[in-house]
A and B are shown apart, each in its own frame.
Chain A
Amino acid sequence: MSRAVTPQRKFAVTLLAWAIGLLIFFPILWTIITSFKTEAEAIASPPSFLFFNWTTEAYEAVNQRSDYLKHFMNSVIISFGSTALGLLIAIPAAWSMAFVPGRRTKDVLMWMLSTKMLPPVGVLIPIYLIFRDTGLLDSRIGLVIVLTLINLPIIIWMLFTYFREIPGEILEAARMDGATLREEIVYILTPMAVPGIASTLLLNVILSWNEAFWTLNLTAAKAAPLTAFIASFSSPEGLFYAKLSAASTMAIAPILIIGWFSQKQLVRGLTFGAVK
């Protein structure tokens, strides 16, 4: 809004907004601060906010547990693997729906959205038993398959809303200038589609990284990503606040950074293009 506001009003708004913003952010900030404490300082009463001996003791302790890196790599492989596989299947589908829409395109899209409404717990048991019998239980490949399928509708919807905005006239113009189909795809469509594909990729990595129903139910020690690893802290181990904080900080940091870069796309991706 370009209306003039008095400096006093702007000052008050700033103060209030920062206070609320910091309040909402505080649990994350507190986790990061605590991760640099010793275990004794982490439960000290009264708690200290800044003036304590900053140490990376807790990080060293967590990293020394031989399995931390393994779980981190599991998260990376599962989230990027399922996103890549999902894109591979979704790009042609979204492409054809955006450029060659048929009578039933809208129905197909709505149907895909409706598969997202099937509660995971309704299909948990068969998937669990099938995975048990095929050796996919507690394997990365199994989780990649499941996460690809649950995120496929979101990937298709999001790509569709991006592709639909590429004007068809450009293609016709290129064709009239004698571009072949290959040239059309390489020089015109791909450059225009890349930003949409990139933001779809980012949003899906975030969703897969944080997915915590299937990852908790289908993995044990071997293929568990960070969501499941952190859940193991729910036992008395979690009362070692500094180590819990260090493990948590490492688990959320990559996604916080990716997330902040893609907040605009987040709105569009998660609302199926309904709010831009």
Chain B
Amino acid sequence: MATQHSRLAARVMISPAVILLLGWMLIPLCLTIYFSFLRYNLLMPGMEEFTGWTNYRYFLTDPAFFAAIANTLALVLGVLFITIVGGVLLALLLDQPMWGQGIVRILVIAPFFVMPTVSALVWKNMFMNPVNGLFAQLFKAVGLQPFDFLSQAPLMSIIGIVSWQWLPFATLILLTAIQSLDSEQLEAAEMDGAGPLSRFFYIILPHLGRAITVVILIQTIFLLSIFAEILVTTNGGPGTATTNLTYLVYVQSLLQFDVGGGSAGGVIAIILANIVAIFLMRMIGKNLDA
């Protein structure tokens, strides 16, 4: 049905989307790269000058940069580990026959719909606050010293908060995948004497491979850019203990007004994200037929 005429119409219909996305990607990208070679501070307008690689040298030798890379990695990998292991276990549980399955599903999925600033603040103030937080009260009730989560274990606390937000997503996708598994295959394996463990490792887990890939891909995209949770809980501190790359660039450019340095950081963030993206796109390309 694709005639010359409809081909042309199709091209016209798709072009606004392509042009807008191209502009949205290329214009700011080129500007970021351009700024990254300038000495450009918003507090000194009109003083911009070309400085070559200085911004990069400065950014890459800043100890905060290595802290930020380490924190970004810890945050992404920590949350991925917790949500995938937790998500597989939870999906297996929710797949069992039970009473009130629909309601349990709703309870489990709910945190995903809570906006990041709300979940971060609720956890920070109402649970992790060392004086009035629920955890502190719980600790006191059993005779323990209250633990100040966000200053003693700041990164772990943020990993915990973010995992709570993303566990529902992983669970929901993995549950959908488990439910599409052919139950006859499982029954056949059971009749052949396969125990629950070997059924899990040889049938269920391979079946989940594609869904797990998708979960990793999508979560990584979002987790690399975690921002609001850090902003409202710790402001990147204490020191740089919870500063990830996104937050570091934000501090450099919008708080210290150093556009040049911040842009260099932005370019580095893009390069790192692209390394992950190429790897992941290859995985999704293999797993998906678009």
Contacts and interface: CB of A to CB of B under 8 A. Distances in A.
A255 B21 contact: no
Q: How large is the interface on A (under 10, 10 to 19, 20 to 34, 35 or more residues)?
A: 35 or more
B31 interface: yes
Given A125-B35, A152-B21, A270-B218, 9 more contacts: A21-B108, A24-B111, A47-B137, A119-B224, A125-B262, A171-B1, A245-B122, A251-B115, A259-B109
Interface string A223-238: 0001110110110001
B116 interface: yes
A128 B254 contact: yes
Given A92-B16, A123-B266, A255-B115, A168 B106 contact: no
A192 to B, nearest CB: 16
A136 B218 CA distance: 30
Interface of B: 1-2, 6-7, 9-11, 13-14, 16-18, 20-21, 24-25, 27-29, 31-32, 35, 90, 93-101, 103-119, 121-127, 129, 132, 134, 137, 140-141, 164, 167-169, 172-173, 176-177, 180, 183, 186-187, 210-211, 214, 218, 221, 224-225, 227-228, 231-233, 245-246, 249-250, 253-254, 259, 262-263, 265-267, 269-270, 273-274, 276-277, 280-281, 284-285, 287-288, 290
Interface in A73-92: 89-90, 92
B266 A124 contact: yes
B28 A17 contact: no
A260 B137 contact: no
Contacts of A46: 137, 141
A256 B113 contact: yes
A276 B14 contact: no
A92 to B, nearest CB: 4
B187 A3 contact: yes
Contact of A121 (B134, B137, B245, B284): B245
B118 A1 contact: no
A198 interface: no
> What secondary structure prevails in chain B residues at the interface with A?
helix
Contacts of A24: 107-108, 110-111, 164, 167-168
A129 to B, nearest CB: 7
A47 B107 CA distance: 23
Given A21-B108, A108-B18, A122 B98 contact: no
B30 to A, nearest CB: 8
A153 interface: yes
Nearest to A117: B277
Nearest to B260: A125
A149 interface: yes
28 contacts: A3-B183, A10-B97, A24-B168, A27-B126, A110-B281, A115-B24, A115-B25, A119-B224, A122-B28, A122-B273, A126-B31, A149-B24, A168-B1, A212-B116, A212-B117, A230-B118, A245-B122, A245-B126, A248-B118, A251-B118, A259-B113, A260-B106, A266-B112, A267-B173, A270-B169, A271-B218, A275-B211, A276-B180
A93 B14 contact: yes
B111 to A, nearest CB: 6
Contacts of B7: 100, 102
> What secondary structure prevails in chain A residues at the interface with B?
helix
B118 A93 contact: no
Interface string A24-68: 110110110010000000010111000000000000000000000
A275 B1 contact: no
Nearest to B280: A117
Contacts of B25: 115, 118
A31 to B, nearest CB: 5
A212 B230 CA distance: 11
Nearest to A268: B176
Contacts of A97: 10, 14
Contact of B98 (A10, A100, A206, A244): A10
A141 interface: no
A110 B285 contact: yes
B246 A121 contact: yes
A263 B109 contact: yes
Q: What are the 4 closest A-B residue pairs judged by CB atoms, nearest first?
A: A96-B10, A123-B28, A126-B31, A212-B228
B93 A125 contact: no
A89 to B, nearest CB: 5
A187 interface: no
A216 B121 CA distance: 15
B219 to A, nearest CB: 10
B17 A238 contact: no
A221 interface: no
A95 interface: yes
A129 B259 CA distance: 10
Given A16-B93, A20-B93, A216-B231, A114 B277 contact: yes
A1 B183 contact: yes
Contact of B104 (A5, A17, A102): A17
Contact of A206 (B90, B113, B227): B113
